[in-house]
Amino acid sequence: MSDELLGFLKSRRSIRRFKPDPIPDEVLLKILDVARYAPSARNSQPWAFIVVKDVEVKRKLAGIHPWAKPLESAPVGIVVACNSEVSHESYQVDCASATMQLMLAAHAVGLGSVWLQTLRNVKEIQEIVGLPNNYVPIAMLALGIPDESPTAKKRKELREIVYLNKYGSVFTH
């Protein structure tokens, strides 16, 4: 069972092409329910999730930079915004962990997603989805039924990234 679960975690891919089918709200709520179990500093849970279905709002978000285009064809976008005042040092990592948990939950129900960069377009995104200034968009996802099945991107070897006790010393086992 644990090998199966580990294999599942490794089988997630960024999906950038989607079928047009809408995603039922029950399914969206199911994966958002999982996302809120992500860890956060002092359990502060500084996140807010803006589910975007409106075609015009999606189009605006897809236009913030060339790599946000997958959002145009996705039936749903989700902006993960974080209250920077609740958790000054940790809000970005808190929301990154919630984003990752959301992507894995989506994968578990057969949906595909891709994380789209937001941090160079904070003001613009705040305006598009009506976020107050203290809510920073940490990530946004394009989400839907996958219409592609990409192979895994190459990963660095463990020996290149894992060390024992001190950076640079070989970890053997």
Ligand X SMILES: Cc1cc2nc3c(=O)[nH]c(=O)nc-3n(C[C@H](O)[C@H](O)[C@H](O)COP(=O)(O)O)c2cc1C
> Based on CB atoms, which residue is closest to ligand X, 92 or 134?
92
Stretch that binds ligand X, among 36-44, 66-74, 87-95, 158-166 (CB under 6 A): 66-74
Does residue 120 touch ligand X according to CB under 6 A?
Answer: no
Pick from 64, 78, 74, 54: which is nearest to 139 by CA? Answer: 78
Does residue 136 touch ligand X according to CB under 6 A?
Answer: no
Select the residue interacting with ligand X from 6, 117, 148, 162 (CB under 6 A). Answer: 117
Select the residue interacting with ligand X from 35, 62, 68, 71 (CB under 6 A). Answer: 68
Q: Rounded distance, CA 55 to CA 61, Å?
A: 10
Residues in binding contact with ligand X, number by CB under 6 A: 11
Does residue 73 touch ligand X according to CB under 6 A?
Answer: no
Stretch that binds ligand X, among 8-16, 28-36, 75-83, 159-167 (CB under 6 A): 8-16
Pick from 120, 134, 149: which is nearest to 16 by CA? Answer: 149
